[in-house]
A and B are shown apart, each in its own frame.
Chain A
C-alpha cells in the first residue's frame, strides 16, 4: 500500500515496551543527535521500502518504485521517515541499500551493448548451455537467448591447460586488432578457459582494452567468479558486464542526489551473500547485488533467530508472486555458490541462467498471494506460477481480475477480513472471489466455493511444503526440529498450515514483516567472500600451498571489508568444498581457524567425513577424497542481539469471534479474532484464531497457541 507508514520494532528498553512510543512534534522539539541513524532501503519490483532506525526505535514506509529514476522513490521515502523522527538527511549516519535493479535488467534484458571475448574454439559456451532440455515433454520448447548474441562474441588465439600452464601464448597484437573492432561497445566481458587458475591472459586483454577504448568497462571472469566450469563462470561474467554500466550510472546518480539532499554519509550495498560492501565494490561487481532483497529477508530472520537463541530455523517469506524458503542454522543463513536467475519456464530449474557467486541459498517457487489457480487435464488443481500481480490483482480486488488467486481462497476461508485488508485501503469483495473459484475450479470438480478455496489453498501450501522438504533433504536436515520464522505479506496466512504439514512445532512472526528485507539490511555485517577453484587430492595434500591459498583469499576478502570499515575487527571463516574423487557434487566443509592456519590432511578428512555422513548417512570407505573449491569469508562481527526472555503466558485474553476455515474438519468453525496490538508481552490466545494487523493476518491453527513477546513478535506454539 503506497505511503502507508507504520512503526515497528519497539525499543529494547524494557521500561518503554508497555508505553506507547513518544512521537516528538517537529515544531517545538528537535531531538539531540542520537548515536546513530541507520537507513535501510530495499527497491523491489512494486515497492521501495525505507526504514530508519535510531536508538529511539524504528520507522518505515513503502513508496511505489519509480522505474525511470529509482532514486526518486528513495528520496521520497527518506523524506517521509526523516520527518517522522524529526531528523534531517544530514543526520543519517549510514545508508544500506539493496535492489532488484540488476536482477530486473537481466530478466528484462535491459543491459548495455556488451561484447564477450573468449578462447578460440569456444565462442558459443554461453549459448550451448548444458546442451539439454529443462522440460522433457515439450516438443515446442524454446531456450532462453544468450545474454550476449553470437555476433558480439569474439575469440582470441590462446590456451591455458587444466594445470594453469600456457599451451598457446596470447599475442598482444591480436588483442589490439580486436579492441579496435570493438569501439562503440560500452562494456566487455572476458572469459578464457582455465583462467581461474591463471589470469595472465585475461589481464593482458583488460590492459589492452582500457588503453585502446576510452571509458570502456571491463569484467574479467578471473575476478568476477574465479571458479571452474566455464558455462557458469562465463555467464556470470557476461551478466556482470551487462549490468555494470547501468548500475555504475545509477549508483553514481544516487550518491550525488543523496548528497544534494544533505545525506553525505557512507552508502553501502547489500549483496546476495548476506553481507554489505562499499558502493565502489558494488559498482565493480554489480552481479553480486542480484537477489540482495531476499538476502536481506534471510538476514532479518536470522536476527530474530539469534534473539530467541534458535539454532535451527526455516525462514519463510511469501509475497505477491513468489515464496522463498531458506535454512538458518546457528543464526546464519545457509549459503551456496551457484544459483539461477531469470527462469523463463514456470520457475523450472535449468530454464534461467546460472550465476556463480556466493549467495544465500534459497528455494524460490512461484507461489504468492497473487498466484492464479486452474484445473488441468488430470482434474488436478494447479496454482501458479502465473500471478495476477497488483494489476489486475486477485478477483476480490475488483480491478478486472476474474481468475481465482490465492488471496481469493484466503478471503473465502475467512483468513482475511474484507474490510480491513491493507488497513482498509483495499476493500475486498468475497462474492467476486467465490464466483472466480466456482467458475474456474468448483464447476469443473463438482465442489462448492468453500471446498474449491480449501483445495486451492492446500495445493499451494503443499507446493511450498514439498519445496521445503526437498531442500531439507538436500541438506541432510530434519525439519521437525526446526522453528519457522515467517514474514512477507502472505506468509502469516499460510505459515501455520505449513507448520502442520512439515511437523514444525513453533512459528515466530516478527513485527515489520512487510519490510523485512530492509530491516535485514540494517542487521547485516560488512562481509565479502573470496572463492577460488584449485584441485587438490588429499593424498597429495600440500600444507604450504594450502596456507598460501588461504592467506591470499583472506587478504582479498579482508580488503573489501576494510574498505567499508577502517577499524573494525575482521573475522575470517574458512571453507573448502570436498568430495570423493569421481563424484560430481562437492559438499561444503567449514574449517576451524586453527586448521586453516595449520592445515593437516587428517584434520580436513575428519571434518569431511563427519559432514558427509551427516548429509548422506554414511561414508564411503576406500575412496580418494579431493578438494575443488576454497573460500574465505571476511566479516565484521555482528553485535549479539539482546535476547528475548519469554514472559510466562497469562491466561487467554478476551477476543472477538469470527468464522474461520478449519482444515482438520474441512469446515468453517468459530475462531478467536484479536488485533496484534492487544497481544502484548505474555498475552496468550488459543487457536483457531486470527490475529489481525494492517498489513496481514496471522492464522493460528487449532492445536496451537499464540503468545505476544516483548520485542513485538508473535510466538505460535503447538500445544503438546
Chain B
C-alpha cells in the first residue's frame, strides 16, 4: 500500500462522514438538526477508535462521539454483533450530554468480518418529560431514557422500543422519523466504506487506521511540543439559574500533552443546567484545539493529548440523576473560561470573552378561544469576543456553530410575530479591537394568542469581560413591553397584547479603546455600530470628529 493510496483513503473517509451528515440534515425532522446543524457523524475502526468525524455545527459532540463507541462495545458485547444490527442510546453520560441527543451506532461488516462502526447523533425536538427547558429537578423529569440497547437485531426493528418511545413523547412521528434518518445515514456510510475497501483490495481498516492515527498524533504532538510549558488558572462567574456559578479552570502545557482541570468550579445546580463530564470534555477540548491545532481533523489520536478533568459533583461533572437538559448554557461558556487561562500561557492567540451561550428561547402559544396550540423554538447569537488583531464577530455564535432560522420560516412555524431582529449598537465591548455586537429581538403573538416564554440565556448579570483595559460587552436583558423586567432562565407567561423585548449580549473588547484607530471609530459611528455618546466616552472622539463621521 503506497503512501499516496493512504492519503486518498483518508480523504475518502472524511468525505464519507460528511456525506453521512448531509444525508441526515436532508432527512431529519427536528429543526435543531436540519436548520441549525446540531448533529454529528463519525467512522470508527474495529477497536472503536474514531478515524474521522464530520465537521458540523456542534463542538459539543467532538469528544462525546469519540468516546461513545467504547460504551456500546462494552454494553452490547462485540462478539454478539451481527450484520443488520443497529444500536441506540440517549444516555447523557455515555452519549452527548442530554436526553434530547439520540446516538445511533451501526457495526460495519466487510466480507463477513466486522471492520468498524459508524455513529451519528442528532438533537431531537421532544423526548417527553417536562419538555425542553431548565425546570427539571432530576433526569427523570426530563424525558424518557433509552439505555444502550439494540434498535435493530439482524435487521429486525425492536417494535416494543418504538411503541414505548411513541407513547412517551409529544411528537412521536418526528422522533421516530429522526431515529430512522439516523440509522439510514449510517447505512450510507457502511455502503461507501465497503466500496472503498473493495476498490483498494483491503480486508479491513487496520492499515489505514494506523496511518491516520499516527500522522494525527505526530502532528498534534508537534504543535504541543512547540508551546511554552506553563500553568495558569482562571475563573469566570456566570448567572446560573437562581444563584451565580463560578467556573474555574487550570490549564497546563506539559510538552507531551495539555491538561485542563476544573477544580474550584461550583457545585451542581438544582435545576437542569448541569453538565455531564463528556460535554465538558468536548467544549474544553474544542477550545484548546482551536488555539493549538485547528487544522488537524478530529480523531482518536488528535484528541488524545488533551486531558480534561473535573472533580465529581461540580456543575461541570455531575452524576445521575442530576437534571442536565440545558447543559449547553453552561457548556458553551467553558471555552471562555479555558481561554482566560490559556491567554496567560499563549499571548496574542485567544479571543476575549463573548456571548458564549446561544441565545435560544422557546415560545408556547395558545389561542384561548379555539384551544389551538403551537411550539416555536428559536436559535440566536450574541456577539463574539474581540480577537488579538480583529474585532469580534457581530451576532455570530462561538463556540457553537449553529445557524439561526429565517424570521419568515419561524412565523410560518407558529402564530408568533418577530417584530425586531437586528444588531444592537454599543453592545460590543469598547477596545482597541471591539467586541462583536449582540442583537435586539422583540417577540409577540398574532392577535388572539397568548404565550409562555421559556428563556435560556446567560450574561444578564455577568456580561463578557474585555481583556487588557478593554470594556465588557453589553449584558443580556429580558423586558416585557410594559416594562416588567424578567430573568434570564425559566418559563413565564406573557399577557395578551404584550411583547418580550430581548437584548442579547455583545463580546468583550481587547486593548485600551483610546488606542483604537480613529478611522475605525469613525467607521463604527457611520455604520451605527456605536453611538456618538460612546464614541465620546469610551473612544475619546471629539465633537468635530463625531460630526464628520455622521454627516
Chain A interface (Cβ < 8 Å from any Cβ of B): 120-125, 127-133, 136-143, 149-151, 159, 161-162, 167, 193-194, 228-231, 376-381, 445, 447, 451, 454-455, 458-459, 462-463, 466, 469-470, 473-474, 535, 580, 582-585, 616-618, 620, 622-623, 666
Contact = CB atoms under 8 A, between A and B. Distances in A.
Given A194-B408, A230-B407, A462-B8, A583 B34 contact: yes
B34 A229 contact: no
B296 A149 contact: no
A128 B439 contact: yes
A426 to B, nearest CB: 28
A618 B187 CA distance: 13
A86 B147 CA distance: 81
B403 A130 contact: yes
Contact of B296 (A131, A193, A377): A377
B393 A141 contact: yes
Nearest to B171: A582
B357 to A, nearest CB: 13
B219 interface: yes
Given A123-B422, A137-B55, A473-B23, 9 more contacts: A124-B422, A128-B394, A128-B395, A136-B55, A139-B294, A380-B7, A616-B23, A616-B26, A620-B173
B15 interface: yes
5 contacts: A130-B404, A131-B395, A194-B408, A229-B408, A459-B8
B184 A618 contact: yes
* A contacts with B: majority SS: loop
A622 B215 contact: no
B57 interface: yes
Interface of B: 2-4, 7-8, 10-12, 15, 18-19, 22-23, 25-31, 34-35, 37, 55, 57, 59, 125, 171, 173-174, 177, 180, 184, 188, 192, 215-216, 219, 222-223, 289-291, 293-297, 349-351, 379-381, 387, 389-390, 393-398, 401-404, 406-409, 411-412, 417, 419-423, 439, 442, 446, 526-529
Contacts of A161: 411, 417, 446
Most buried by A among B27, B380, B527: B27
B350 A139 contact: yes
B7 A455 contact: yes
Contacts of A623: 29, 173-174, 177
Contacts of B35: 584
Contacts of A128: 394-396, 404, 421-423, 439
Contact of A131 (B381, B387, B389, B408): B381
B29 A121 contact: no
Contact of B29 (A229, A230, A582): A582
Contact of A133 (B26, B291, B401, B528): B401
Contacts, number: 203
Nearest to A142: B390
Contact of A469 (B15, B294, B349, B389): B15
A584 B31 contact: yes
B423 A127 contact: yes
Given A137-B289, A473-B19, A618-B180, A584 B2 contact: no
A459 B289 CA distance: 26
Contacts of A133: 393, 396-398, 401
B33 to A, nearest CB: 8
Contacts of A616: 23, 26-27, 184
Given A151-B528, A230-B407, A455-B3, A139 B19 contact: no
Contacts of B27: 583, 585, 616
Most buried by A among B19, B184, B216, B389: B19
A169 to B, nearest CB: 15
A445 B211 CA distance: 14
Contacts of B30: 582
A459 B7 contact: yes
A143 B37 CA distance: 19
Which 3 pairs between the two chains have the least Cβ-Cβ distance? A121-B420, A584-B34, A137-B294
B397 A474 contact: no
B423 A137 contact: no
B422 A381 contact: no
A622 to B, nearest CB: 5
Contacts of B379: 131
A131 B4 contact: no
A616 B187 CA distance: 11
Contact of A473 (B173, B188, B408): B188
B413 to A, nearest CB: 9
